Amino acid sequence: MKKWILVLVLLCGASVLHAQVSWQPLDNKAYEFALTSAIAVHQPSDNIIMTTINKGIFRSTDNGASWQNVFATDSSLQCVAVRSDGAIFVGGVRGYVFMSQDSGATWSRSQINTLYPISQIAFTQSGTIIAGTGVIEDREGIAHDAGDGVFVSADDGKTWVKKNTGISGVPCITQVAVAPSGRIWIAKSNWSASGSQGGLYYSDNNCESWNFLRITIDGKNVVGDAMDVRGIEALAFDHNGRMFISMRGADMAVSGGNAVACEFIAATNDITKPWDIIAVIPSSLFWMETPLFSLYITSNGAMWGSTIGGNSRGIFASDNEGETWERRHNGIIPAISGRYEPIFFAEQNNGTMYAVQWLDNHVYRAATPTDVRNGETSDISMSIAPNPVGQSTVVSFALPRTSQVHLAAVDLFGREVAVIAKGLMDAGVHRVAWNGSGVIAGMYYLVLRIDNGIMMQKTVYITN
C-alpha cells in the first residue's frame, strides 16, 4: 500500500500575513533554469537588470511582467551596479566586466588582469569605476581568502589599474562603497589568519592609498573593545551619511586570554568613536547578534536586509534607522540549498521593491511600495492536518474577505506541479483534500496566492 508522509514547517514565521510586505514571485519562464545572483534598476528608464550564475544577464522593461536574455553567457556573474549617468556594469568571474550604455539592451565586455571574481562594483563621485576582487575558498572545510584587491578604471572599463597600497595581507575584497562625503570604503576578509588587518579600509585620494580602520565597540568589560574582523558581510550608508556594517570575527585577545567570537551589525556617525551595536534579532549576548548578509537603504530611508538559515531567517526591515527590525519575508521560497541565502534588493522610481536570492530562480516583487509599516493588515492562516498523514490530507485556510485564491504545490525550482484549489472564494474557513496524486516523491512548497499577498509553507512529501 502506498504511504504518504507530509511534514509541515511554516516558512513565514507566523500565521498572520501582512499584505503590505508580501513578495510575489514573477513569471520565470524566460529564466526558468537560471540561478539568480544580483539585481538593479536602471535609472531613469526603470528597466530591471537581473544577473545569474549560469545564464547571463536578463532585462525587464515592463516591471517584471516579461524578461529577455539580453546577454547570454555561462560565466558566473556576481554583482551589478548602475552609475549616475545610466551606464550599467556587471562583474563576473575571472575578472570579466560587462558594460551597457543603452539601459541594458546591448553589452560589451572587458577583462581585469585577475583570476578572481569581481565581488563588488562602485563609482566615485566623478564616475571612476572601482572593482573589488575576491572569493572565500573552502579548502577541506577551512575558509581561505583569495583575491587581487582593488582595480580602478577612469575610461569606462577599457583599462584597469590595481590600487592596493596600504592593504595588509591577502587583498580579498568583499565590499566596496562610496560614502555621501566621497570617501571610498572597502572591506577585506581575513578568514585565513587571526590578528592581521581584516575589516575596513578607506581612501581619500581616489584609491591611490588605503587606511586601515580598527572597529571598536563598548565591550562592557565582557568582551574586548577592539575587534579582529574576519568578514564584513554588508556595508551601506544612509542618507545622513551614517555607516552600517555587518561583521563576523572575534575580539582582540589580550594578555594571553582567549578571543571571544563576535558577530553583529554596527553603525557609526563618527569612526573615531566606538560603534553602536544594532540587534536585528535581539539576543541576550550583545556581541553575538544575528548578522545581515545584505543591506539596502531605500529612497525613503527604510532599511532592508537578509539573514541566512532556516525558518526564522530571511528578509528583515527597519523604518527607524535600524533601531528595531521586523521580519518581512512572506512569499520568499528558500534557495536550492534548502535554506534562505543572501537576498539582494533594488527599487524603482515609484518605490516598488524587487529582490533576488543567491542561487534561487525567481525575481520577487513587493506587493506594495517600500514603507514597512503603513497599510492594511489581513489575517490569513493556513494549516495541514493530519500530520503525518495517510493517503490523503486536508489543507485548511481562512480568508478575511472574498478573494481570488490559487493554492498550488511548487517544486524547488519554482515550477507548479499540482493545483489544489483555485477560484473566487468567500470569506471564512476553507478545507481542501489533497492526496498528492501525480506528484513524485520529494520536497515541495504549498503556495497560497490571494488578491494582495502570498503565504507559503514548506512541505516534505515522501512516498513508499
pLDDT in tens, 108-155: 999 999 999 999 999 999 999 999 999 987 666 677 889 999 999 999
Q: What angle do CA 150, 153, 154 make, to 5 degrees?
A: 140
Per-residue pLDDT, averaged over 240-267, amounts to 84
Tell me which of 117-126, 243-252, 273-282, 439-448 is least confident.
439-448
Tell me which of 67-71, 117-121, 440-444 is least confident.
440-444
Q: How far is CA 307 from CA 234, 264, 315, 344, in A?
A: 11, 12, 7, 11
d(CA 56, CA 68): 11
Report yes or no on 251 lying in a domain. yes
d(CA 283, CA 270): 25
Report yes or no on 433 lying in a domain. yes
pLDDT of res. 201: 97
Same domain, residue pair 264 and 398: no
- In the chain, the number of structural domains is 2
pLDDT of res. 57: 97
Q: What angle do CA 138, 333, 408 make, to 5 degrees?
A: 145
pLDDT of res. 418: 83
Per-residue pLDDT, averaged over 197-202, amounts to 92
Give backbone dihedrals phi and psi of 30, rounded to 5 degrees, phi first.
-70, -25
With CA atoms as reference, report the closest residue to 188 among 176, 204, 178, 206.
176
Report yes or no on 14 lying in a domain. no
Q: How far is CA 278 from CA 189, 272, 320, in A?
A: 21, 18, 12
d(CA 61, CA 68): 9
Report yes or no on 326 lying in a domain. yes
Same domain, residue pair 164 and 25: yes
d(CA 301, CA 241): 12
Report yes or no on 371 lying in a domain. no
Q: What is the pTM of this model?
A: 0.76
Is the pLDDT confidence value at 76 over 50?
yes
Cβ within 8 Å of residue 166, ≥6 positions away: 201, 209, 210, 211, 212
- 211-236 confidence digits (pLDDT tens): 999 999 999 989 999 999 999 999 99
Q: Which of 105-114, 344-353, 453-462 has the highest mean pLDDT?
A: 105-114
Q: Which residue has the higher pLDDT, 456 or 135?
A: 135
Measured over all CA atoms, what is the biggest interatomic distance in the chain, rounded to whole angstroms?
74
Per-residue pLDDT, averaged over 338-343, amounts to 92
Same domain, residue pair 157 and 295: yes
Per-residue pLDDT, averaged over 283-295, amounts to 91
Report yes or no on 5 lying in a domain. no
Same domain, residue pair 340 and 427: no
pLDDT of res. 203: 98
* Structural domain ending residue among the three candidates 366, 394, 415: 366
Same domain, residue pair 329 and 395: no
Per-residue pLDDT, averaged over 429-443, amounts to 79
395 band by pLDDT with thresholds 50, 70 and 90: confident
Per-residue pLDDT, averaged over 23-36, amounts to 81
pLDDT of res. 7: 35
pLDDT of res. 379: 57
pLDDT of res. 266: 94
Q: Which residue has the higher pLDDT, 257 or 47?
A: 47
Full residue range of the structural domain in which residue 260 is found:
20-366
Write the CATH number for 140.
Answer: 2.130.10.10
Same domain, residue pair 362 and 383: no
d(CA 84, CA 125): 9
15 band by pLDDT with thresholds 50, 70 and 90: very low
Q: Which residue has the higher pLDDT, 387 or 354?
A: 354
pLDDT of res. 411: 64
Q: How far is CA 127 from CA 47, 121, 132, 154, 434, in A?
A: 21, 12, 16, 8, 57
pLDDT of res. 17: 33
* Structural domain ending residue among the three candidates 366, 398, 426: 366
Same domain, residue pair 309 and 244: yes
Same domain, residue pair 242 and 361: yes
pLDDT of res. 377: 33
Share of the chain above pLDDT 90, in %: 53
Q: Give the HSE-up count for residue 412: Cα atoms under 13 Å, Cβ half-sphere.
A: 15
pLDDT of res. 386: 63
Is the pLDDT confidence value at 443 over 70?
no
Q: Please answer whether residues 313 and 325 qualify as being in contact, where contact means their C-beta atoms are separated by less than 8 angstroms.
A: no
pLDDT of res. 433: 87
With CA atoms as reference, report the closest residue to 131 among 192, 207, 190, 183.
207
State the CB neighbour count (10 A cutoff) for residue 215. Answer: 21
Whole-angstrom Cα Rg for the chain = 23
424 band by pLDDT with thresholds 50, 70 and 90: very high
Same domain, residue pair 195 and 310: yes
Eight-class DSSP state of 12: S
* Structural domain ending residue among the three candidates 313, 337, 366: 366
Per-residue pLDDT, averaged over 58-62, amounts to 95
pLDDT of res. 54: 92
d(CA 250, CA 211): 21
pLDDT of res. 178: 97
Write the CATH number for 456.
Answer: 2.60.40.1930
- The average confidence (pLDDT) of the chain is 84
Eight-class DSSP state of 461: E
pLDDT of res. 39: 97
For residue 178, count CB atoms less than 10 angstroms from its CB and return exposed for 0-12, middle for 13-18, buried for 19 or more.
middle
Same domain, residue pair 108 and 238: yes
Same domain, residue pair 284 and 305: yes
Same domain, residue pair 328 and 383: no
Q: Please answer whether residues 418 and 410 qualify as being in contact, where contact means their C-beta atoms are separated by less than 8 angstroms.
A: no
Report yes or no on 152 lying in a domain. yes
Give backbone dihedrals phi and psi of 4, rounded to 5 degrees, phi first.
-125, 130
397 band by pLDDT with thresholds 50, 70 and 90: confident
Report yes or no on 328 lying in a domain. yes
pLDDT of res. 60: 95
Is the pLDDT confidence value at 194 over 90?
no
